Amino acid sequence: KERVLYVLKLYDKIDPEKLTAESHFMKDLGLDSLDQVEIIMAMEDEFGFEIPDGDAEKLMCPQEIVDYIADKKDVYE
């Protein structure tokens, strides 16, 4: 979870003050769909596996990414 939030804090369009595990990327943080794609790519780089587009579209807040990665990490280890 800390790694996900750390990667998000490095993203220049996210205000670290507003970032929580429950922050909605578009509603709370004011990001658009392109920003979301860039966030997913950053997560793929950080965690070393690909997130399919169909899954990526559903990941709208940090906690959803944390849960998704926790699920997938078992598969990739």
Query: For residue 8, what pLDDT is reported?
Result: 97
Is 32 an annotated catalytic residue? yes
Q: Report the greatest alpha carbon distance in the chain.
A: 34
Residues 6+ apart with CB under 8 A from 15: 29
* Residue type, position 11, single letter: Y
Domain count, the chain: 1
- 29 alpha carbon, distance to own chain's centre: 12
In a domain, 17, yes or no: yes
State whether the Cα torsion 29-30-33-38 is positive or negative.
Answer: negative
**From the candidates 12, 15, 32, 71, which is the catalytic residue?**
32
In a domain, 77, yes or no: no
Low-confidence ranges of the chain (pLDDT < 50): none
In a domain, 21, yes or no: yes
C-alpha–C-alpha distance, residues 76 and 6, integer Å: 22
State the DSSP H helix or E strand holding residue 66, giving kind and residue range, or none if neither.
Answer: helix 62-76
Find the CATH number of the domain harbouring 39.
1.10.1200.10
Domain extent, residue 25, equals 2-72
Mind listing the pLDDT tens digit for each residue in 54-73?
999 999 999 999 999 999 87
